[in-house]
Amino acid sequence: MATVHSDRNWKIKIYPDDHAPPHFHVQTPDGESLVEIDGLKVLGKGAEPKALKAALAWASQHAAELQQVWDEQNRRN
């Protein structure tokens, strides 16, 4: 598991050998949301809304980095 970024009350994580489509997990003390990297579409809701909004703002500026980490963690042999 790669923690790509963390702030006071949220973390962005990418898990190895995870399912498609390429996505990341936003974890907060209240729950977790899945977000598709391409287009930042929220696939599953659970994270606290204010923290999720902050994480999406960060992710919008770092989409290439997120995709690179996804590719490294989810290489298909």
Tokens of 21: 């489509």
Determine contact, residues 55/10, Cβ cutoff 8 Å.
yes
Residue range 44-53: average pLDDT? 94
pLDDT tens digits for range 6-28: 999 999 999 999 999 999 999 99
What SS3 state is found at 23? Answer: strand
User: What pLDDT sits at residue 76?
Assistant: 67
